[in-house]
Each structure stands twice: as structure tokens, then as C-alpha cells.
Structure 1
Amino acid sequence: MFKYLVALLSFGLAIWTLPEWFSVGSCLLKPWLLQPTAGLLHQDVLALYNGNRSSKGLYLAILGQVFDVEKGRKHYGPDGGYRFFSGRDASRAFVTGDFSEAGLSDDVSDLSPSQIVALYDWLTFYEKEYTPVGRLIGRFYTERGEPTEALQQAEAHLTEGLKLKAQAEEENRVYPACNSEWSSAAGGRVWCSEKSGGVHRDWTGVPRMLFSPGSGRTRCVCVRLDDRTRSNNPHLRQYKDCPPHADSCLLSQD
């Protein structure tokens, strides 16, 4: 009799808890229906957060990091100008401006170091402005949330890009860019001032062409003639028909 009562009680508990067990079992059978609980999401889960009427919310990913951008719905929602970023990782498009389906990709392997720096600037923006949700399993993070080789490559390019950026900033400080203007009637003109190139200083300088070795490119820079070390740079050239001490030069039409 006792065994019968125990069996009856067990059967009753099984019936009572069936809906809960069935619900859990369904999620186990269909992992794409799981909520992003552990901070790790698959792409098919992220796609459910595209901001559409039937979606679960409004997320986007950049470099594999997922953010809740609900407060920016006017930008990332179905009618927003950046709606194509929602529900996916389209890191590449942040710096290329290619918003075609092919361009909305997370493949950044062929981007230049300077583009990677710009991409990480975008990542910093989202870290400041939006709530982080987790990491996207795929190109940048493994099933265990560990960085992939692709992410390590991007970080290496970031280091290189930051070094090049620092070098460019130092060069711009030493050789600030000229002001410039052009019109069909008067042609072109370059000139120096104490604020040209965005570098505020206590000297004006004179316009010179600065050649970039290896690239064949030139840019107009302002040079201090009283700084012999910098003014004697072999990559500097005077403008044709412009007096050596003039702070403004008309550009030849040749």
C-alpha cells in the first residue's frame, strides 16, 4: 500500500511540473530561443534584437561586443538612419561606409591600421553611451567567450595604428598644415598663420611642400625658418615663384 501511495505521489508531481519541464526542454532543443543570460550570444539570438515590432529588443555588436541601443531607437530602430547595424555585427561598415549587404560584415581583416583605430574609437563611443550586454560568439569570441585569432589580429593592428597616429600628430605639431583656398578666377593660395593646421602657436612660419618618402605625396606645411634643424629637412621644397620668406604663396597653374 505504501509503495502504491509513493508511486501515485510521484506521478502527481510529474504531471504538476510538466509545463515547466516542457518549457525548459523546448529551450534546450532550440538554443536560439534562449535569452542572452551568460553574456554570450549566438548570431541567431542577436538577430532577434533588431528593433522590429516582433523583436525582443534593440541590440548591435561591434568587434564582437554587444550593446543594448534601445535608448537610441530613433537612430537604430526600423525607421532610423542606422537601422542596418541592428541585430548584427557590421563592424566593417563603421569605417568603410559600405552599407550594402556585402559591406555590412564583421570581417575587418583587410582594414588598414588607421581604420582599425577609427573602429576602436567607435567601440569606445558605445562603451560610454550604451549598456553592454555581452559578447557575440563567432568571428571575435569563442563559445567560451575567449578572444579569437581574428580579434588578436585586430588588436595588433590597433597598436600599430596608434603608433602611426602618434607619429602623425608629432609631425603635425612640428610641421603644421597650411591654410589653403582655391577659386576658378584667382587659382590657388596657401598661407600660414598662428592657428593654421589647428596648431595654436606663437610663430607663423612660411609655406613649404613636405614630401612623404615612399608615397610620392606632398602636403603644404608651415616651417620656422629660425629652426635650422627643421627648416633644413631634405624633404621640404619651396613653392615655385614664391619669395622664400613670404607667409603666403600663390600656386602655379603649371
Structure 2
Amino acid sequence: MLRFCGRELCLCLAIAAAAMVAAWLLGWWRPRAGFHLFIPEELACYRGGPGDPGLYLALLGRVYDVSSGRRHYEPGAHYSGFAGRDASRAFVTGDYSEAGLVDDVSGLSYSDMLTLQNWLSFYEKNYEFVGKVVGRFYGADGLPTPALTLVEAMIIKGLEASEQEMKEKQKFPPCNAEWSASRGTRLWCSQKSGGVSRDWIGVPRKLYKPGAKEAHCVCVRTTGPPSDQMLDSPLHRNRGDLDHPSLGEYTGCPPLATTCSFPP
């Protein structure tokens, strides 16, 4: 008796052959396009087990040959659940259960979509692209579906948000921070804090963001014009960004101190 996609090669080859015939009949497969269109049942044959025709996985509908990374994806390996299917959602959630290893990415955030885009770049760089999965992200003609168009739009929005966040971080770099049970909390600024190198030190301030439950510590420039004014503007008071309306001082810390300590 034939078992589906794992123990015997015959059924997998039959499914692949049927898929190729259907693809030819419906115009799915175009040799000059350089990729193959898989139906999910066909892709399920490529899990790297004995007799399987290969070891493939899909991400956002794009199929990659991950045979060179066999130790990660073969049966019994940590990421074996990704093989033979499109499990895009699990790349973000880390849910490797059968319920989590799915291609449905609805409800994910812009940041999650950027994570998927980073993973896609990883596979494009390290593994061979071999085709697309007909289903959620690609139609029978191999063209993107509205679901993929939505994902791409969210990735663009995520990139814009990330760029804005980076600009904000350059303006208000996070403070250095340490805590101990005996000495309490210390916040301080330096010419490199929060991963941001600069030619000024700044002073610790609370930054309040709309929607955030709590303020977080940032380093604020204390001289020159505000960041939103030209360097040669005559209207500023040489206080840097100290007068920004979203900032607040730390109680008990001198206004121009570069270090604030709070005992336990």
C-alpha cells in the first residue's frame, strides 16, 4: 500500500507528474520563467526523508531548496517542521506546532512583516529559489495574489516606520542604564549610548511617547538649536532639545547632570 509523501517514492512522483500535467494544461508552468509552480500536496513530498525527491521549504509563497542546510531541516532536526510547506507565520511567532506552522500571516504587525522580509532576504542569499506555491500568495498563473500585495504594502510601511524610529533614535539616543540591589539605579549619557555614536554627550531625560505606558530614558543635547531648526537660526536659546514638549526631568537629578542615580 502506498503511503503519502514520506516512505515511498512512487506516490510523490505520481503527484509531481500530475501537477506538471495540470500546470501545462492550465498554463501554470512556463519553462522560460525559471521557476516551477507547486501545489501544496506536491511540495509536501519535499521533506528530505528517505525516498523523498528533495528538501524544500516555502516562505511567503516562494520555494527554496534547503538541501545544503539539511542538518537544520531534515526529519528530526529542530526546524524540520518548516520542510515541505509554507510556514511563514512560524518564522515570526516561533510556534512550531501543526497549528502554528501555517502560511496565514494575517494580524501580524509591521515589525513582524519586516522580520519576514529579513528571512526572505536570508533565503534568497543562501539557498536556491526553485519555484512558487499556488495558494495564498500566488495564483495558478504564478502572479501575486491580493494577500501578497497586502504583505508587500505592510513591509513598505514597516520600513518607513523603522526609518522614522532610527531618526528619532539619532535625535534622542537611549541612556546607558544599570541596576543593583545595593546601589539602586543609575542612568547616564556618553558619546555612545543605545548603539548611537555622536559628538555630544547629553543629559538624561524622560521621553513620553503617545500610546506608551511608561516614559523611557533618553540622552538630550543641551546646546545649539533644537533638532528641527537650522544650525544658523537666530531664534533659538542655545538649549539644544531641552525644551522639547515630550521630555521631562528626573526628580532629584540636577538638570544638567550627565548621570542620575536613584538609591534603592
TM-score in same-fold range (> 0.5):
yes
- Alignment partner of 1:95 out of 87, 92, 95: 92
CA distance in 2, matches of 1:28, 1:252: 69
Note the aligned Cα RMSD (angstroms).
2.4
Which TM-score applies when normalising by structure 2? 0.81
| Residues 1:116 and 2:113 aligned together | yes
Partner of 2:160: 163
d(CA) in 2 for partners of 1:147 and 1:252?
58
Q: Which of 120, 123, 126 is the equivalent residue of 1:126? A: 123
Is there any run of 5+ residues in structure 2 with no aligned partner, and where?
1-9, 24-28, 31-35, 227-240
Task: Write the distance in 2 (CA, Å) between the matches of 1:144 and 1:73.
Answer: 31
Letter matched to residue 136 of structure 2: R
Query: Residue 183 of structure 2 contacts residue 263 of structure 2 at CA under 8 Å; is this kept in 1?
Result: no
Which among 15, 18, 21 is matched to residue 31 of structure 1?
Answer: 18
In the TM superposition, residue 102 of structure 1 has moved relative to its aligned partner by 1.1
Letter in 1 for 2:199: D
Cα drift, residue 252 of structure 1: 6.4
Q: What are the residue-to-residue correspondences of 1:221-240 with 2, within 5 Å?
A: 221-229=218-226, 230-240=241-251
1-structure distance, mates of 2:99, 2:217: 38
Report the identity percentage: 48
- Paired residue for 2:78? 81
CA displacement 1:36-94 (0-9 Å, x = unmatched): 97510011111100111231111000000000000001111123221111111111111
Q: State the alpha-carbon separation in 2 of the partners of residues 95 and 28 from structure 1.
A: 31
Q: Aligned AA for 1:238?
A: E
Q: Which amino acid aligns with 2:18?
A: P
1:176 maps onto 2:173 in alignment: yes
- Structure 1 residues 106, 252: CA separation in 2 closer, same or farther (over 3 Å shift)? farther
For residues 69 and 17 of structure 2, the distance between their equivalents in structure 1, rounded to whole angstroms, comes to 30
Structure-2 separation of matches of 1:105 and 1:207: 45
CA distance in 2, matches of 1:228, 1:213: 24
Q: Is 1:45 the equivalent of 2:42?
A: yes
**CA–CA distance in 2 between the matches of 1:117 and 1:227?**
36
Confirm whether residue 143 of structure 1 aligns to residue 140 of structure 2.
Answer: yes
The answer to whether the Cα contact below 8 Å between 1:67 and 1:130 also exists between their aligned partners in 2 is yes
Cα distance in 1 for partners of 2:60, 2:139 equals 13
Deviations 1:121-175 (A, max 9, x none): 1001100000000111110000111111110111111111111000000000111
Secondary structure, counterpart of 1:221 in structure 2? strand
Contact 1:95 1:118 in 2 (8 A): yes
- Give 1:63's aligned residue: 60
Whether contact under 8 Å (2:87, 2:102) holds in the other structure is yes
Query: Structure 1 unaligned runs (5+)?
Result: 1-22
Structure 2 CA distance for aligned equivalents of residues 97 and 170 of structure 1: 30
Aligned equivalents of 2:212, 2:151: Cα separation in 1: 25
How far apart in 2 are the matches of 1:29 and 1:76?
21
Does residue 153 of structure 1 match 2:150? yes
Counterpart AA for 1:247: T
Stretch moving more, 45-54 or 129-138: 45-54
Helix, strand or coil at the partner of 2:218: strand
How many residue pairs get aligned? The number is: 229
Cα distance, 1:28–1:219 mapped onto 2, change above 3 Å: closer
Contact between 2:191 and 2:199, CA under 8 Å: does it hold in 1? yes
The yes-or-no answer on 1:197 pairing with 2:194 is: yes
Q: Deviations over 1:2-47 (max 9, x none)?
A: xxxxxxxxxxxxxxxxxxxxx9xx959962587x975100111111
When normalised by structure 1's length, the TM-score is 0.84
Indicate conservation of the 8 Å contact 2:15/2:42, yes or no.
no
